[in-house]
Amino acid sequence: MITKNLSLEHLIKPSSLTEKAPVIIMLHGYGSNENDLFSFAGELPEEYLIVSAKAPLAMQPYGNAWYEINFDASQNKFTNDEQAIESRELIVKFIDEVVENYHADPEQVILLGFSQGAILSYAVALSYPEKINKVVALSGYIHSAIFKQGYENNDFSKLKIYGSHGSVDQVIPVEWARKNKPFLENLGIDYKYSEFPVGHGVNPQSFMEFKNWLAKN
């Protein structure tokens, strides 16, 4: 399969199906790139079309980001929400392009995001639930300031989300992730959440659990 020129640079692993393939769109974390999560591609069922996107903002000396994170003199962290919203809309456009150009099933679009990619996966799915079937959000949290206005009124009946977090995560505190469950359940969203005794990363247990979750859902 030839990689096409779409809104975001990406890597692709073709599906074993010739048309209407379920698609997993991978969104990497801050300072990483499209190769990171793509390393999972060979471990996922072959019927999935796998597309790993590269974030649009180049960082120095290397790596990419979906939006900037700045620190003040007291080391308080501030996210650039305007950039995050721009990336949210760019991902939505990219999803439409992937479905059209790679003949993916628009009813089976799955976002798999890590860290900043997970934060944006929540933002895309809750802003545009009609476009997303499932979300796998690893080591991320809900930042509702980057959701589309009026998202609370969306129909979330077809959306399912799996979230996991390291209980000793030193980058995104686990307390932030624990707020996801009541937030999502208040909106009536089907949500499974797990914690593992690890830091900021994807561990084998989490990988096996979300893989099984995808198979069952």
Q: Report pLDDT digits (tens) over 18-48.
A: 889 999 999 999 999 999 999 999 999 999 9
Q: Report pLDDT digits (tens) over 144-200.
A: 999 999 999 999 999 999 999 999 999 999 999 999 999 999 999 999 999 999 999
Q: Report pLDDT digits (tens) over 41-84.
A: 999 999 999 999 999 999 988 999 999 987 655 556 678 999 99
Q: What is the pLDDT of residue 137?
A: 98
Closest C-alpha to 66, from 36, 50, 90: 90
Q: Once rounded to an integer, what is the mean pLDDT over residues 106-132?
A: 98
Residue 109 in this model has a pLDDT that exceeds 90: yes
Q: What is the pLDDT of residue 20?
A: 93
Between 80-89, 112-121, 149-158, 201-210, the lowest mean confidence (pLDDT) is in 201-210
Q: How far apart are CA 9 and CA 188, in angstroms?
A: 34
Q: Once rounded to an integer, what is the mean pLDDT over residues 118-147?
A: 97
Dihedral sign (CA 214, 155, 132, 36): negative
Tokens (6 digits) for 213 = 């979750």
Please give the model's pTM, rounded to 2 decimal places: 0.95
Q: What is the pLDDT of residue 186?
A: 96
Cβ atoms within 10 Å, residue 29? 28
Q: What is the pLDDT of residue 78?
A: 75
Q: What is the pLDDT of residue 18?
A: 86
List domains and CATH numbers for the chain: 10-216 (3.40.50.1820)
Rg of the chain, C-alpha, whole Å = 16
Choice between 78 and 92, residue whose per-residue pLDDT is larger: 92
Is the separation of the CB atoms in 80 and 87 below 8 Å? no
Q: Once rounded to an integer, what is the mean pLDDT over residues 119-127?
A: 98
Q: What is the pLDDT of residue 202?
A: 87
Q: Once rounded to an integer, what is the mean pLDDT over residues 89-115?
A: 97
Q: How far apart are CA 76 and CA 171, in angstroms?
A: 12
DSSP H or E stretch at residue 184: helix 180-186
Q: What is the pLDDT of residue 73?
A: 59
Could you give phi then psi for residue 21, rounded to 5 degrees? -80, 140
Could you give phi then psi for residue 157, rounded to 5 degrees? -65, -25
Is the separation of the CB atoms in 81 and 90 below 8 Å? no
Query: 160-166 and 134-138 as β-strands: parallel, antiparallel, unpaired?
Result: parallel
Q: What is the pLDDT of residue 74?
A: 57
Is the separation of the CB atoms in 104 and 128 below 8 Å? no
